[in-house]
Structure 1
Amino acid sequence: MAETPEGAPIWADATFPDIEAAKSFYGDVLGWSFGESSPEFGNYTQAYADGKAVAAVSPPMPGQEAPAAWCLYLASSDAAATAGKVRDSGGQVLMEPMRVGDFGTMVLAADPGGAVFGVWQPDTHKGFEAQAVPGAFCWAEVFTRAPEKSDTFFPRLFPYRVKKMEDDAIDFAVYNLGEDAVLGRMKMTDDFPPEVPSYVNVFFTVADCDAAVAKATERGAVLRFGPMSSPFGRFAALSDPQGAEFSVIDVTTTEGEMPSLRDAG
């Protein structure tokens, strides 16, 4: 498997107060199957789409009252060095570099606007075994009320080139590695209640966006936005029954022309 470039999304996992309910929900909506829980790693449980590892779920650590939330991990060849860059660039290290068995080293951090993300330095766990196929991760966007801070912060961690959408109605940027877009950044508007913090929105691929939304809402999810067709695919944003935000996208159903992007700065 090809090595994940520095700064590219490499893994996604989520913490749920009720892990069995989460497995039932995502198994139904995204077609996931699940491996054995790992008691030595806090009952961390990998999810599979068509036999390929695509994400993981786990209960909160003992003593933690963490809300349900998805976390995106960005690839790093040196997690400790990236943690140092987080501090030096105005972010916050929420969990110092921690070795996870022989799987790799992780860091949890937040950008200056408060959006939480992970850093993963892979060893035996190389990250996603599939992307952009039904059930697998496809894309992610930093939703923030401080877009200028995010656009300065993330390129200090990784070799991103920031490209902004040429549209006065929306403040959206794309972070490129070389010619490849690997992460989006969206300014949160007044449509978001003030109590909703900045966060990273993870997109999972589905074969049919409307069918996935119907299944999710039937199972207790709340539809936040969409379904809407775009040049990138037909997508919708949801909160799962335990409150974790995520999006689904059918990348085969596209509409309209790709937006123009210009180098920021």
Structure 2
Amino acid sequence: MTSDPAKAKEFYTALFGWTYEVGDVEKYGGYIMAFKDGKSVAGLMQSNQDDAGYPDMWSTYLRVEDIDATVAAATTAGGVTYMAPMDVPEQGRMAMLGDPGGASVGVWEFGGHTGFQAHAVDGAASWHELWTKDYPAALRFYQDVFGWKTAVMSDTAEFKYSTVGEGQDAVAGVLDATNDLPAHLPATWQVYFQVADADASVATALALGATVIQAAEDTPFGRLAGLTDPTGAMFKIIQPPVR
């Protein structure tokens, strides 16, 4: 969701090499599909200008088979419905939920649109990560509502982290961010985009008006950095390790 689609398109084209297709305004509100090398990687949407103070942000959407049943299960499990299930003509059905820790997450029931077609390649998302201040409740919620099978990667006082799936089959992570998120910041899903060179990408992003919120650093999973784009939407980049 962006307050300035034109500026966002220019930024992500220069940073990731994206191209775009703009949907029918009457049917889809001018929804913008982003592509990398001809494959869909993300979507951009003009935020509602009537929602004063609503931040520009990236959202993670989870695929579900029955969106109505999922929303009902989420409510039973302690979640909230930010946006009730709605039909997207010819494309599918969507809703937006809040988990017990307050993180928003989208859900999508397939129709004509079946999600991103490129993953874990340069310019596409490669990882999705929940930062939560209520780690046990978050794990239970996603296990109960979405049937996640999680694996504990670390369970120390300093670093509690679980993955959805295990090892090379993992598709997302959940971090106990109690000591990482300031009191005024809510739990959040974070999207990592893969790049070939993290330092070069940071330099490019800065020249385009981005802000660094986490300096590039080496980790066992690659070299990563955190940024906000020119209108304030937060995202991360990751350069995979050489194997």
Q: Could you tell me the TM-score, scaled by structure 1's length? A: 0.85
- Establish whether residue 221 from structure 1 lines up as the match of residue 207 from structure 2: no
Partner of residue 4, structure 1 = none
Partner of residue 138, structure 2 = 150
Partner of residue 136, structure 1 = 124
State the aligned residue count. Answer: 240
- The answer to whether the Cα contact below 8 Å between 1:44 and 1:59 also exists between their aligned partners in 2 is yes
1:160-205 Cα offsets, whole Å, 9 max, x none, are 1222223522121112289821220112244432221111000111
Listed as ranges, the gaps of 5+ residues in structure 1 are 1-14, 255-265
**Cα offset, 1:216, TM superposition:** 1.1
- The answer to whether the Cα contact below 8 Å between 1:42 and 1:61 also exists between their aligned partners in 2 is no
- Establish whether residue 240 from structure 1 lines up as the match of residue 226 from structure 2: no
Q: Distance in 2 between matches of 1:109 and 1:167?
A: 27
**Cα offset, 1:248, TM superposition:** 0.6
- Establish whether residue 127 from structure 1 lines up as the match of residue 115 from structure 2: yes
Aligned pairs for 1:98-177 (under 5 A) are: 98-166=86-154, 168=156, 169-176=158-165
Please point out which of 6, 12, 33 is paired with 1:26: 12
- The answer to whether the Cα contact below 8 Å between 1:117 and 1:200 also exists between their aligned partners in 2 is yes
The aligned amino acid for 2:73 is K
Partner of residue 181, structure 1 = 170
Q: Distance in 2 between matches of 1:93 and 1:198?
A: 16
- The answer to whether the Cα contact below 8 Å between 2:129 and 2:172 also exists between their aligned partners in 1 is yes
Listed as ranges, the gaps of 5+ residues in structure 2 are none
Q: Secondary structure at the match of 1:124?
A: coil
Q: Distance in 2 between matches of 1:71 and 1:194?
A: 21
Name the CA shift for 1:253/1:195 in 2 (closer, same or farther; >3 Å): farther
| Aligned alpha-carbon RMSD (Å) | 1.8
- Establish whether residue 38 from structure 1 lines up as the match of residue 24 from structure 2: yes
1:218-245 Cα offsets, whole Å, 9 max, x none, are 2222212231222322211112221111
Provide the identity percentage. 36
The aligned amino acid for 1:251 is P
Name the CA shift for 1:179/1:50 in 2 (closer, same or farther; >3 Å): closer
